[in-house]
Chain A
C-alpha cells in the first residue's frame, strides 16, 4: 500500500518537472517582462526577477491599449459572425439533411485545409479593389474564415445528439422550423455555442497573417501587429515587448482557467489550428 503511494508521488514529481520544462518559455516571457533595461543584456541572465520592474507594463498601458481595444472589437465581431453563420447551418446539417448536404460537408472540410496565406493573398486582391484594406469589418470577415468551418462542425456534431422526439413535439405543437431552432435547438446547444465562441475569439485574437496582410499600417491594428511592430522597431526594449506578449496571452489564460473542458472538447472534435 505504502509502496504504491510512493510510486504515485514519484509520478506526480515527474509530471511537475515535465510541466515545468514545457512551460519554461512562458515563465521566461513573464520573467523578461519584469526585467530592468540595464539587466536585459546581463550574462548570465537573472533566473528570477529579483530587481523586478513594472516599466514594461507601464509602456504597454501607454502605447498598446488602442491595439488591445481593436483586438477585442475584432474578436467579438468574429464570434458574432461565426455563431450567426454556423449555428443554423449545423442545425440543418444535423437534423434536416436536405439533398446536397453531403457536398457541403465536404466543402467545409476542404475549406479547413487551405493555408492562411493563400486566403490572405486572395482577400488582399479583393479588398484592394473594394477599398476594404485597413478596415476593421474587413478583418472581421477574414478572421471568421478561420472559425466558420470549425463552428459548423461542432454545431452539427452537437445538434445530432438532440432527440428527434423533442423536435417532433415542437412541430406537433405548431412551431415552424425557425421557431423550433430559436426556442428549442439553440438554448439546448448552449455548450456548443460556448465552445465555438471561445475558439472563434481566440483565433481572431491570435491572428497574425490576415492582420499583417490586410490592415498593416491602418488606423486600427490588432495587438498581434502591436507586438510585431515592437519587434521590428525597438529591438532593445524587450521588457516592453514581453509585457505586451503577457497581456496578449491573458485571454488564453482566462479561457484555460474558466473553460477548460470546452477547450478539450474543441481540440478533440475539431482538431484545427492554423
Chain B
C-alpha cells in the first residue's frame, strides 16, 4: 500500500504531487514527425475525437439549444420550439428560487470543501506516522468514496430518520430532543452537507497523504533537533510544503462539489420547500422533477453551472501549468 502509484518513471513524481490530472505529456513537437506518423497518430485519436464530438459536444449543444428556445412537451418531441433568446435565463434570474438556490449552492460548496479538506489533512498527517495497521486502516477509509452514491444516500437517510434513526436515538440517550434532520427546512441542508462531507473525506485523505510522501523526512528531523514541537512542525514545514497539493485538492474539490446532485436528490429532493435546493437539483427539478417539465429553464440553470465549473476549471489548468513549470 506504500505503492501509491502504478505509473512508471519520471511522471510518477508529479503524480505523487497529486497534480497529474491531464498534465500535458512532455511535448516533443520541436522534433518534427514524418507525415506517416502524423496520420497514424490521428488514426489512433480518431475514435476518441469522434466520440467527444458526438457524446460531449453534441449533448452540450443540445442543452444550449434547449435553454434558448421555448420548449413544451409537444415541441420537445417534434423539435419545432420557437427561438426565444435569453428569455429562459431571464425567467430563471427572476424566479423566487434563484436566490435561495444560489445561497444553498454557495453554503453547501464552501462548508463541504473546508470540512473535507480539514478532516482529510488531519487524517493524512495522522496516518503519515506509519504505525502498526496504518496502511490497512487508511485503505478502509476509502470505503465511503467507493460506495455507490445511492447506497450512501439511502443509508444516511435512514440513519437520520426522525422517529427511528440511530442519530436521534443517540441524541436521545444524551438528553437531546429529536431533530427533524430531513423533514425540517432548517436542518435539511445541514443533513446533506454532513453526508457529503463523509463521502468527500477519503479523496482528500488519499491525495493529501500522497502529497505528504514528498515532504523530505530530513526536514522534520532537523526541525525536531532544533526543538520544534509537532504543532510548529506542522505549521512551519508540512503546511507550507503542501501548498501546491492543497491548492489542487481544493480546486478539484470545488469543481466536483459544485455539481453534487445524487446525494441531495436522493435524501431530500431539494426540499422541504426548496430548503436544500442547489443549482444542480433545481436544474433537474425543472427538467424532470415535475409533471409539467420546464426543459428550457432547467437547461438554463444547468448552463450557469457549466460556466461556473469551466471558470474554476481554467483556474485549475493555469495552476497546473505553473506547477509543472516550477
B157 vs chain A, min Cβ distance (A):
7
Any B CB within 8 A of the CB of A93: yes
Given known A45-B164, A262-B6, A265-B6, contact A113–B309 (CB-CB < 8 A): yes
Q: Which of B1, B5, B249 has the most CB of A within 10 A?
A: B5
Cross-chain pair count, CB within 8 angstroms:
362
Contacts of B51 in A (CB 8 A): 85, 148
A108 on interface, CB distance cutoff 8 Å? yes
Instruction: Check A118–B133 contact: CB distance below 8 A.
Output: no
A51 within 8 A of B: no
The B-contacting residues of A in range 98-114, CB under 8 angstroms, are: 98-99, 101-102, 104-114
Interface size (A, Cβ < 8 Å)? 119
A57 beta carbon closer than 8 Å to chain B: no
Q: How near does chain B come to A230, taking the closest CB pair, in angstroms?
A: 8
How close is B80's CB to chain A, nearest CB, in angstroms?
A: 12
- Asked if residues A241 and B154 are in contact (CB atoms below 8 Å), the reply is yes
Measured between beta carbons, the chain B residues less than 8 angstroms from A231 are 154, 157, 266
Pairwise interchain contact A256-B143, C-beta atoms closer than 8 A: yes
- Cα–Cα, bound, A62→B51 (Å): 39
A256 to B4, CA, bound (A): 14
* Stretch touching chain A among B84-92, B109-117, B184-192, B257-265: B257-265
CB pair B33 A263 closer than 8 Å: no
- Does residue B7 face the partner (Cβ distance < 8 Å to A)? yes
Which chain A positions have C-beta within 8 A of B302? 115, 117-118, 121
When distances are taken between beta carbons in the complex, the residues of chain B under 8 Å from A16 are 133, 137
| A41 lies within 8 A of B201 (CB) | no
Contact B298 A93 (CB under 8 A): no
Chain B 100-135 residues near chain A, CB threshold 8 A: 123, 126-127, 129, 131-134
Residues of B within 8 A of A (CB): 1, 3-12, 15-16, 18, 20-29, 33, 37-38, 40-45, 47-49, 51-52, 55-56, 58-63, 66, 76-77, 79, 123, 126-127, 129, 131-134, 137, 139-152, 154-159, 163-164, 166, 169, 172-173, 198, 201, 203, 206-207, 210, 248-249, 252, 255-256, 258-259, 261-262, 266, 280, 283-284, 287-288, 295, 298-299, 302-303, 305-306, 309-310, 312-313, 317
Top-7 shortest CB links A-B: A122-B59, A115-B259, A96-B41, A161-B8, A206-B148, A98-B41, A92-B44
8 extra interchain contacts, Cβ-Cβ under 8 A, other than A109-B21, A157-B25? A22-B140, A22-B141, A32-B158, A117-B283, A124-B287, A145-B55, A177-B40, A273-B203
Taking Cβ atoms with an 8 Å cutoff, the residues of A that contact B are 8-9, 11-12, 14-16, 18-19, 22-23, 25-26, 28-29, 32, 40-45, 84-86, 88-89, 91-94, 96-99, 101-102, 104-126, 128-129, 141-142, 144-145, 148-149, 152-153, 156-158, 160-162, 176-178, 181, 191-192, 195, 202, 205-206, 208-209, 212-213, 223-224, 227-228, 231, 238, 241-242, 245, 248-249, 252-253, 255-256, 260-265, 267-274
